[in-house]
Chains A and B, each alone.
Chain A
Amino acid sequence: MIIHGRGISRGIGKGPLLIGPDPISFLSGVDPETGIVIEPGHPLKGTDITGSVLAFEYGKGSTVGSYILYALSRNGHAPAAIINKEAETIIAVGAIMGKIPMIDRIGTPLIDLPTGKEAEVDGNTGTLTIFG
């Protein structure tokens, strides 16, 4: 299945779909050393986002969150790609800094994406391909 959205950060990333779907604050919400979500009360709390195609609505919290995405990338714990419902600057800038492919505006509600299925995000063309 191929879904068309809008490219925000270039590159191609592949991995299992992981659905947020709630907004994520990367500053103090995700551990930059391990890639594990630590925000109390978040649906993904305790989940490792390393290597996933991570779909969540948008970023929240401090703009310093951009640097945390960069840190995750440098530490080898970044998601393989990011899908946002609607991009805002914290995640858009952080994904570009961390060279993490990112798309938004895919039209399909994120909650309807098949969690765990292998997927590929192409940030150049803005497409999401779900395999199998």
Chain B
Amino acid sequence: MHLTHEEEAVLNGEEGETKQQLMEILVGVGKVFGADEMVQIRSAQVSGASYKTIGEWGLKWLLSLDARACVPSVLNPVGMDRMRWEEMDIDPEFAKKQLAVISAYERLGISLECTCTPYYLNITEYGDHLAWSESSAVSYANSVIGARTNREGGPSALAAAIIGKTPRYGLHLVENRKPELYFRVEGEPQQADASWYGALGYIAGKISGNRIPLFSGIRPGRDQLKNLGAAMAATGAVALYHVQGITPEARVFSFDTSGLEEVVIEANEVSDLFTDEIPDTVAIGCPHCSPEELSFLASLLEGQKITIPVYIFAARNIINREQESVRIIERSGARVFADTCMVVSPALEQYSLIMVNSGKALSYVPTMCGAEAMIGSTRDCIEKACNPQNMRQDSLT
């Protein structure tokens, strides 16, 4: 692996022990994947934010480091809202340790945002190199924005945040970003909102595995693409996908589909995932809500009262920017939490059937929350949540 004089100097300890160790991690990862050199990154998203994952020793390692991030950096979602955790029935002992992990990252110059949507917070553009961790964020950055990132592990993402570089391999290289599988979507979906695209991704991810798919026959917008990619990263290991005529690289390169394995997905097949049952809670915001999604939720919940608990998740910065929408939503009894989500928080473990509008949540809720999951559109979710016939005896409203 070729290193510049500056990189060699850091590796030889000329900028302190922490940077030496972190550069060694980047070089080590580069060797494992056969990288030829380092590349400058624009931002980082660091996993290993949850105390449940990194534990006592991960925390001790963080505390042993002494340097600061040199590019805008956020954390992955954690198990609780760091300010409103008491409202989420979180064990105070766990909360104490979680807050210790978050402040250890703060000391290293990582912003106190724990979110799967860093693209709403830090400017991310076509062709940018990044070191992001969370699978749906990685998919969005690569596919919807046309930026370039591999799916980083915790220590390598932290090293990239502090050094400002990452080894150049995998999805940083144009030749590794071509489609490997072709999905033709046939038929008209009845209701092609973001949840429908989540359901499409739920199916397509299972077929894709770790291949890069190219879609035709669909015209999703940004929130729909977000849901599509998040689901494929959950049921498959899809870190990049393309949509003909829609996503930036599909427009720039106009990929040739001849020679690709072709799979037809019928719109009906996707719609069949939608069932009509009675949930005991609704969870929205997987991935974290965009400003537009929060204002749509506010328009649905204005003047309403929920009859079963409704959890909504978004990045703290987005919640702060959309205060009016959040006020309207919370007046209905629904709650808008930051830093966490239904997949990583133990708060949702008390329910038996969780209604979501996300293909990713549909995939993860059964294993992560030990509950059944059903998918519906955002509008249907709110209708079920406000229907007095669905009221539970012990409703938390």
Contacts and interface: CB of A to CB of B under 8 A. Distances in A.
A93 B167 CA distance: 14
A9 interface: yes
Interface string B255-269: 000000000000000
Contacts of B153: 63, 66, 89, 93
A10 B24 contact: yes
Contacts of A68: 57
Interface string A15-45: 0000000000000000010000000000000
B31 A64 contact: no
Nearest to B30: A92
A128 interface: no
A64 B154 CA distance: 9
A92 B28 contact: yes
A8 interface: yes
Contacts of A87: 28, 31-32
B60 A93 contact: no
Chain A contact patch, size range: 20 to 34
Interface string B42-60: 0000000000011101101
A74 B25 CA distance: 18
A130 interface: no
Interface in A109-126: none
26 contacts: A6-B31, A8-B31, A9-B24, A9-B28, A10-B24, A32-B57, A63-B154, A64-B53, A64-B54, A66-B153, A67-B57, A67-B58, A68-B57, A70-B61, A71-B57, A74-B60, A87-B28, A89-B28, A89-B29, A89-B156, A92-B28, A93-B28, A93-B155, A96-B21, A96-B28, A97-B61
Interface of A: 6, 8-10, 32, 63-64, 66-68, 70-71, 74, 87-89, 92-93, 95-97, 99
Interface of B: 21, 24-25, 28-29, 31-32, 53-55, 57-58, 60-61, 153-156
